């Protein structure tokens, strides 16, 4: 089987490695010359340990280029390009449309195109299918179209692209079979087929919106319990002792990454065009988007108790990545917190062991020694080191991800919801 993967990022590159590993003739397409150069030279352009390990062994099996004519003899073309939302939170399908146009100019009869990028329900049929049919082929007759939402949890060693269960829908029965045959060859993942393209598209935005609204629930609890002096983390841990009907989520200084804070807007935007307002999902987004500012307000109040204005106070920001164990800073709340502290003229230094290029300090020890106040903005395991350090020289620790055991902290400690 010959497979082409269009878009060699955090989803496409691991998939290309899996295809190569299973002996499929694998071609990669990307428009980023720098990324192609890195791949050619065996330098993994994706910051993820699991991907880096696979890439090292398999990169020479992947023919990577920007030449779309390479897809002309592919049995399967998988599209994993970005689908960002604009500042006004409107989905942007430019990359998808451009990739599909290039594919339609080179596709051969019998090929199945599988879109994995997150899109609003209805997009594959209404946007992608007409572009592919510019080839002169008819989708469902001469060529085929399927949708299989990407699922990846950066940094997760247990659930990787090889074994994460998938959802698959297609425009036609034959397209579904062809796509299912591809995934059963390339991966070892359970494939859950659904009735059509839009069911598969909707499942992706639903699973991530589920996470977003549940995080918003505990973030609202954190604000409420702060006012009542209740430790939210303790309460959620206690509620988690219920063996059914409860799924813990955790409050924090914000919700970052390329999925959770972005995906709900696809559904919100699409539903609006059909006259429905997702008030609940919109409110959840507002609550989660308010958490960086809430964290800075707690810091400001905490410093005031020590007679320290934010202005001029030495603040060490620990963590720039959007979540623990990764170096990805996309949509990271830490960056928003840094921006707010800069606007308040704090004296800031940063340290994130996973983002050395943007760190101005070399270690946690250096941060604790230099600072008057430490703000933890990412749940990196390494930051628990602080519990063992003498922190009496600090006026305040703001634990934006509630990772420290407050009993072990000798100085003033404030968490989010504790």
- Active site members: 259
Sequence-distant (6+) residues with CB within 8 A of 261 are: 212, 255, 285, 288, 289, 331
7 binds ligand SAJ (CB under 6 A): no
Measure the CA angle with vertex 258, ends 398 and 374; round to 5°. Answer: 15
354 binds ligand SAJ (CB under 6 A): no
Smallest distance, ligand SAJ to C-beta of residue 354, A: 13
Smallest distance, ligand SAJ to C-beta of residue 30, A: 20
- Binding to ligand SAJ by CB under 6 A, coded x per residue (else -) over 188-207, reads -------------------x
Determine the longest span between alpha carbons in the chain, in angstroms. Answer: 73
Q: Rounded to the nearest 10 degrees, what angle do helices 197-228 and 232-239 cross at?
A: 130
152 binds ligand SAJ (CB under 6 A): yes
From candidates 323, 338, 380, 418, binder to ligand SAJ by CB under 6 A = 323
CB 303 within 8 A of CB 315: no
322 binds ligand SAJ (CB under 6 A): yes
The three-state secondary structure class of 396 is: strand
Smallest distance, ligand SAJ to C-beta of residue 49, A: 14
259 binds ligand SAJ (CB under 6 A): yes
CB closer to ligand SAJ out of 102 and 118: 118
260 binds ligand SAJ (CB under 6 A): yes
- Using CA atoms, how far residue 256 sits from 13, 331, 349, in Å, is 22, 5, 21
Q: How far apart are CA 271 and CA 279, in angstroms?
A: 11
- In this chain, which stretch among 166-174, 248-256, 309-317, 356-364 interacts with ligand SAJ, using CB under 6 A? 248-256
249 binds ligand SAJ (CB under 6 A): yes
Q: How far apart are CA 213 and CA 326, in angstroms?
A: 23
168 binds ligand SAJ (CB under 6 A): no
CB closer to ligand SAJ out of 1 and 194: 194
415 binds ligand SAJ (CB under 6 A): no
- In this chain, which stretch among 38-46, 146-154, 234-242, 334-342 interacts with ligand SAJ, using CB under 6 A? 146-154
Q: List, in sequence order, the alpha helices (H) in 358-403.
A: 364-370
Q: How far apart are CA 134 and CA 104, in angstroms?
A: 6
Q: How far apart are CA 414 and CA 411, in angstroms?
A: 10
Q: Which residues bind ligand SAJ (CB under 6 A)?
A: 150-154, 207-208, 211, 215, 249-250, 252, 255-257, 259-260, 322-323, 379
């Amino acid at each position: 089987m010959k497979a082409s993967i269009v878009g060699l990022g955090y989803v496409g590159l691991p998939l290309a490695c899996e295809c190569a590993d299973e002996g499929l003739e694998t071609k990669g397409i990307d428009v980023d010359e720098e990324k192609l150069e890195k791949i050619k030279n065996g330098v993994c352009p994706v910051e993820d340990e699991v991907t880096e390990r696979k890439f090292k062994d398999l990169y020479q099996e992947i023919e990577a280029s920007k030449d779309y004519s390479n897809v002309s003899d592919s049995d399967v073309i998988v599209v994993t390009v970005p689908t960002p939302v604009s500042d006004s939170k409107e989905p942007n399908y430019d990359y998808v449309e451009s990739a599909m146009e290039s594919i339609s100019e080179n596709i051969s009869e019998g090929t199945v195109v599988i879109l994995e990028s997150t899109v609003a329900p209805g997009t594959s049929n209404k946007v992608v299918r007409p572009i592919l049919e510019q080839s002169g082929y008819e989708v469902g007759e001469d060529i085929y179209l399927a949708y299989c939402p990407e699922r990846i949890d950066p940094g997760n060693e247990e659930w990787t692209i090889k074994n994460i269960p998938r959802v698959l829908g297609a425009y036609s029965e034959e397209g579904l079979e062809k796509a299912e045959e591809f995934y059963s060859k390339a991966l070892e993942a359970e494939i859950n087929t659904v009735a059509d393209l839009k069911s598969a598209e909707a499942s992706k935005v639903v699973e991530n919106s589920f996470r977003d609204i549940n995080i918003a629930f505990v973030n609202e609890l954190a604000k409420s319990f702060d006012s009542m002096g209740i430790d939210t983390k303790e309460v959620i841990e206690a509620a988690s002792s219920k063996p059914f009907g409860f799924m813990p989520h955790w409050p924090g200084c914000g919700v970052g990454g390329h999925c959770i804070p972005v995906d709900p807007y696809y559904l919100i935007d699409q539903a609006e065009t059909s006259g429905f307002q997702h008030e609940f999902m919109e409110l959840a987004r507002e609550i989660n988007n308010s958490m960086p500012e809430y964290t800075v307000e707690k810091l400001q109040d905490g410093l005031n108790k020590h007679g320290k204005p934010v202005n001029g106070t030495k603040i060490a920001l620990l963590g720039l990545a959007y979540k623990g164990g990764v170096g990805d800073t996309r949509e990271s709340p830490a960056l928003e917190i840094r921006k707010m502290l800069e606007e308040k003229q704090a004296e800031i230094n940063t340290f994130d062991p996973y983002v050395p290029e943007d760190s101005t300090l070399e270690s946690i020890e250096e941060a604790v020694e230099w600072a008057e106040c430490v703000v933890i903005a990412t749940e990196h395991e390494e930051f628990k080191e602080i519990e063992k350090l003498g922190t009496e020289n600090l006026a305040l620790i703001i634990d934006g991800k509630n990772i420290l055991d407050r009993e072990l902290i000798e100085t003033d400690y404030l968490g989010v919801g504790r």
